């Protein structure tokens, strides 16, 4: 069966994309540098939350195959880059995975091929990093091959929106490049949105997540002074959300996590500083507020324990939920990590429970408990860090000696303290 689509990077972005492309009749070859991931997929096993083993077997029946052999990129007419771009030490994006993937493509580039970058990065990456590397062999983007950027919009764990029904933004190096990319995505995505070019498409993704980052920071800062003033911010938000226009509800929490919100806005801030020489003040302030929330939670824990006549040093603190969002196993940038580390640094004995995490490698000193109810009854203080649907929050709060709710889910009571 001839390959028509190659997807480089088989994680939470590349794998759902491969699934939808396969369902639409494309013959997809997935390329990943992790041999274990490749072997597992070819054996019919999924390693991401949103796809089951049955989904992978269905993909294989549709012609999907995974490989570590980058020379096979030459078999495809469309190549999509879905590799991670973590933050580098200087605060900008670490482009090494993109550069590596582009190098693989450059060695296998053919006339007529369509190359699409989906990895989130700073504006200009497609034109300034990807294009020169691909053109080094003599082929010219927009003439000999097509080049485009289409930001990934995968929301892990979202039961309503996935790769098929989330609108796909596409920006081409040229109009014809954009046409080619739009035709490809249009074959399996319900709605394709054309951006003016690659830089506009790159910036659109950063604007989406910067918008969320800043608004989360707003309510995180409000929770501090509302607590001091005796105002229930959760009730305030519910009241404000009754307005049918001009307001969108955002909620406070112990910090921000995941693959987008804590990271992507920094790409834009980094780009503004590096190119223009001045700060993107909204982003930098939002980062300061959101990264400070674990420390704020620890301070509140100390205050709560003090009212109970206990010191944090030597107390047992139980954390409920350590992933970055509900009902998934993904722990990337979870605020539970700095929260646990700071509690440990102040002498607390930290326990945790999460139905999706059997081993918390980021915080090896934290002890996992099997029964959250029993553990809550014995702990000096229990913190709801992530509201998994498996938790009966009110029952756990009632079982606890003291319950600190950072997600606004517990019914008010003498034992319950809210963020």
**Structure tokens given for 375:** 């553990």
Give residues with Cβ within 8 angstroms of 131, minimum separation 6. Answer: 141, 147, 173
- Active-site residue (options: 82, 177, 226, 260): 260
Distances in Å between the alpha carbon of 266 and those of 86, 141, 214, 259? 10, 29, 12, 12
Using CB atoms within 10 Å of the CB of residue 78, give its burial: 0 to 12 exposed, 13 to 18 middle, 19+ buried: buried
Active site residue 260: yes
Pairing verdict, β 316-320 and 192-194: unpaired
Strand 168-172 to 416-418 pairing: unpaired
Instruction: List the catalytic residues.
Output: 260
């Amino acid at each position: 069966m001839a390959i028509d689509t190659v997807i480089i990077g088989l994680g939470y972005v590349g794998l759902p994309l491969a699934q939808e492309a396969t369902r639409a009749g494309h013959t997809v070859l997935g390329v990943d540098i992790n041999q274990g991931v490749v072997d597992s997929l070819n054996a019919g096993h999924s390693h991401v939350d949103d796809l089951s083993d049955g989904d992978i077997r269905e993909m294989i029946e549709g012609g999907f195959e995974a490989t570590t052999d980058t020379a096979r990129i030459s078999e495809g007419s469309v190549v999509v880059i879905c590799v991670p771009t973590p933050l580098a030490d200087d605060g900008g994006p670490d482009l090494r995975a993109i550069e590596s993937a582009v190098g693989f493509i450059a060695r296998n580039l053919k006339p007529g091929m369509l190359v699409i970058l989906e990895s989130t990065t700073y504006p200009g990456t497609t034109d300034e990093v990807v294009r020169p590397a691909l053109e080094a062999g003599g082929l010219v983007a927009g003439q000999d091959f097509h080049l485009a950027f289409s930001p990934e919009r995968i929301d892990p764990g979202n039961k309503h929106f996935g790769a098929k029904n989330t609108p796909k933004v596409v920006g081409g190096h040229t109009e014809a490049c954009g046409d080619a990319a739009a035709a490809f995505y249009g074959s399996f995505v319900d709605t394709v949105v054309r951006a003016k070019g690659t830089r506009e498409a790159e910036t659109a993704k950063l604007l989406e997540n910067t918008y969320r980052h800043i608004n989360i920071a707003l309510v995180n800062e409000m929770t501090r002074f509302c607590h001091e003033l005796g105002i229930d911010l959760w009730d305030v938000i519910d009241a404000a959300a009754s307005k049918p226009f001009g307001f969108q509800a955002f909620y406070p929490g112990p910090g921000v996590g995941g693959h987008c919100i804590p990271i992507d806005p920094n790409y834009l801030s980094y780009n503004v500083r590096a190119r223009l020489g001045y700060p993107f003040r909204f982003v930098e302030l939002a980062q300061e507020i959101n990264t400070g929330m674990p420390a704020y939670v620890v301070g509140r824990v100390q205050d709560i324990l003090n009212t109970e006549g206990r010191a944090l040093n030597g107390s047992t603190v139980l954390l409920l939920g350590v992933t970055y969002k509900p009902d998934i196993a993904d722990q990337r940038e979870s605020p539970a990590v700095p929260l646990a580390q700071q509690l440990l640094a102040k002498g607390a004995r930290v326990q945790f429970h999460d139905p999706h995490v059997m081993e918390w490698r980021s915080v090896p000193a934290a002890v996992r408990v099997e029964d959250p109810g029993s553990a809550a009854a014995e702990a000096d203080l229990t913190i709801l860090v992530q509201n998994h649907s498996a938790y009966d929050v009110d029952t756990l709060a009632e079982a606890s000696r003291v319950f600190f709710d950072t997600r606004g889910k517990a019914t008010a009571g003498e034992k319950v303290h809210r963020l």
